[in-house]
Structure 1
Amino acid sequence: MFEITRPPLLLIGLLLCTPVAAQDLVGKMGDIELRSSDLKAILDAQAPDARRQLATDAAAFERLVRSELMRKAVLNEARQKGWDKRPELQPLIERARDQVIVSTFVGNVAKPGEGYPSDEEIKQFYESNKAKLLAPPQYQLAQIFLPAAEGNDKAKVEEAKKKIGELSAKLGKSAGDFAKLAQENSAHKESAEKGGELGWVGEDQMVPEIRRVVSGMTKGEVSAPVKSAAGWHLIKLLDKRPAATRPLADIRANLIAEMRSRKAQDMERAYLEALSIKLPPTINQIELGKLQNTLR
């Protein structure tokens, strides 16, 4: 219902003009206030990846503040109208409360120790998973792009098709200057300014239509016109690198996160299995069948 994005930085202008007593006030919405302590509690509940994003993305941080202010404002109105006292909501509220307790308790039980994984365990995991840690082939590309998306004006689509054909012919017959033609004709401004250069692109980052073409090209070759959902492309292959195993140093943080996640899953599974042995569940199939029949 609400966009629970991860936070932007504090509203500096607001903080500079508020009295000392309100220096921890991050934002307001009418009488609703959001303070640094409130925001810190939200941040503490974020996943590590989300916290890392928020540390560098001021816009995302601000969206979180706005979203939380809106959530608090709606909650305030609902409470003023007694919505939280409605009888039919009580089981849902109680279940949501219980679920928070259960999930946080199990998460704590299944939390790997601070020292896990050790350097040796990381190295062993890396060595045993090298085949899965391949970086895909990398291609240094340049392009000339003409937009011709589905649903666009038919005449414009045909015009783009005709123009890309003319550019292709010009390159093919006279070995024309690809960079110059890209600067003059490509609609992708960022790359056009650099002679069409896109930099290094991983095979897994390309749309299928372009990936199929590029994978069979040789260095220096220019493709025939390629149609994608966005439009027409002429692709020049400047260089390429084969698939290669990523160095441990480059992916160490990701490996640690993966290993801790797997360890936590194993610990959770072991805890639940032990609990089932300690307190074996029994099911009344007759009563269960009666309840199931009420659903039909």
Structure 2
Amino acid sequence: MKSSHKRLACFLFPRLPKGRPLRSALRAGASRAAISALCAASAFSFSPSVLAADGGSGIIARVSDTDVRIDDIRSSLESLDPREQAALAANPALLSQAVRSLLARRVVLAEAVAQKWDKNPAFTAQLEKLRENALIESYLQSVSQPPADFPSEADLHTVYEANRAALVAPRQFRIAQIFVAAPAPSAADTAALEKAKARLDSVKQQLVRSGSDFATIARSESDEKQSAANGGELGWLTDAQLRPEIRDTVTALASGAVSQPVRLADGWHILKALEIRDARPLTLDEVRVQLSQRLRAERLQANRQAYLAKLLEENPMTINELALSRVLAGEKLKAEN
């Protein structure tokens, strides 16, 4: 059976982009399949007993001779963005998975060093390129940063006024739903489909009764239990967050109105517009942070380009275009052969 949050996802576009996998500090450089296989095959120790047996040294996990300490995990967590940190806080199982991935990477690292892979000429050449790129980017960032007090209040006002027409909060709908699960119309289980249709008819009859309350019916009848607990309420949504299949239905509703059942692949959705907010101009205070970030990013890029131009002016380049064309011709010949 599909979980309620999956049904909700089928009905609406996600409000935020999907979360990425735990990033570079935990997974970069090793294939997912290899790490998963190593985690499954290794005798990992991950329990409070590890910490207790280690005399409170801060070791929270161990595999073979490899330890992971609290400071290692803290450092890895600090490298994650706020959404990833929130996901770990909400689901401790993800933290356990992160520790196992970190342990697996430590095992791979130890094996690579034991095999003297860090002395491999191809690796050392690659490492030097990475070092050069990191050094260049870090230096350019440092010399391109705008002053700490940029942008000024006057700068923000100027940009705000110039872009006022585009700075608009979109129309929003506070929506509730009653969901009646049903097999796809093409499903072979006709009995289940007829049973779902009977339930839908029952819900429709309850809704048209005098004095009926949508929220009460949603709590008792909706198959989407997460929203049902809140009287069917889904919260505030913009046009863009609604799936095309239901967008016209929702946007045509007046405040307080209830739609006819909308058939989607997972069943029928009866929608109610609890409240509607018209599109409105955003105030400067509402967009101050975003404008400041954009202006700083634009100034940083402009400073970067100006610094590079000045540097190249002081260090003129000469390129032997004829020799370069010969190199390209040689590479093309190799590719053809």
With the length of structure 2 as denominator, give the TM-score of the two structures: 0.69
CA–CA distance in 2 between the matches of 1:94 and 1:163? 67
Aligned residue number for residue 98 of structure 1: 132
Aligned residue number for residue 111 of structure 1: 145
| 1:289 partner amino acid | A
Secondary structure at the residue paired with 2:276? strand
**1:140 Cα deviation after fit:** 1.5
Is residue 2:161 matched to residue 1:127?
A: yes
Is residue 2:261 matched to residue 1:242?
A: no
CA–CA distance in 1 between the matches of 2:145 and 2:208? 61
Is residue 2:263 matched to residue 1:227?
A: yes
For structure 1, the 5+ residue unaligned runs are none
| 2:221 partner amino acid | N
Deviates most, 138-147 or 127-136? 127-136
- The Cα RMSD (Å) is 3.7
Relative distance call for 1:272 and 1:134 in structure 2 (3 A) is same
Aligned residue number for residue 139 of structure 1: 173
**1:172 Cα deviation after fit:** 5.0
Aligned residue number for residue 31 of structure 2: none
Deviates most, 167-176 or 284-293? 167-176
| 2:231 partner amino acid | G
CA–CA distance in 2 between the matches of 1:4 and 1:148? 38
Deviations 1:123-153 (A, max 9, x none): 3222322233222111111100133476996
CA–CA distance in 2 between the matches of 1:39 and 1:113? 34
Would you say the 8 A contact 2:48–2:60 is kept in 1? no
CA–CA distance in 2 between the matches of 1:184 and 1:28? 49
Relative distance call for 1:288 and 1:6 in structure 2 (3 A) is closer
Superposition map of 1:39-78 within 5 A: 46=79, 50-51=81-82, 54=85, 58=89, 59=91, 62=95, 66-78=100-112
**1:285 Cα deviation after fit:** 1.8
| 1:279 partner amino acid | P
Relative distance call for 1:43 and 1:144 in structure 2 (3 A) is closer
Would you say the 8 A contact 2:206–2:217 is kept in 1? no
**1:77 Cα deviation after fit:** 1.8
| 1:262 partner amino acid | E
Superposition map of 1:151-166 within 5 A: 154-155=188-189, 156=192, 159-160=195-196, 163-164=199-200
Match of 1:279 among 302, 311, 316: 316
Aligned residue number for residue 182 of structure 1: 218
Is residue 2:85 matched to residue 1:85?
A: no
Identity %: 31
Deviates most, 219-228 or 175-184? 175-184
Secondary structure at the residue paired with 2:288? helix
Would you say the 8 A contact 1:32–1:69 is kept in 2? yes
Would you say the 8 A contact 1:6–1:51 is kept in 2? no
For structure 2, the 5+ residue unaligned runs are 1-20, 27-45
Would you say the 8 A contact 1:220–1:237 is kept in 2? yes
CA–CA distance in 2 between the matches of 1:235 and 1:258? 38
Aligned residue number for residue 33 of structure 2: none
Deviations 1:59-116 (A, max 9, x none): 5893655544432332122221223333333332322222222222222232222222
Would you say the 8 A contact 2:50–2:61 is kept in 1? no
Would you say the 8 A contact 2:263–2:269 is kept in 1? yes
Secondary structure at the residue paired with 2:133? helix
Would you say the 8 A contact 2:256–2:274 is kept in 1? yes
Aligned residue number for residue 23 of structure 2: 4
Give the aligned length.
287
Deviations 1:241-265 (A, max 9, x none): 1112233333333332222222222
Aligned residue number for residue 193 of structure 1: 229
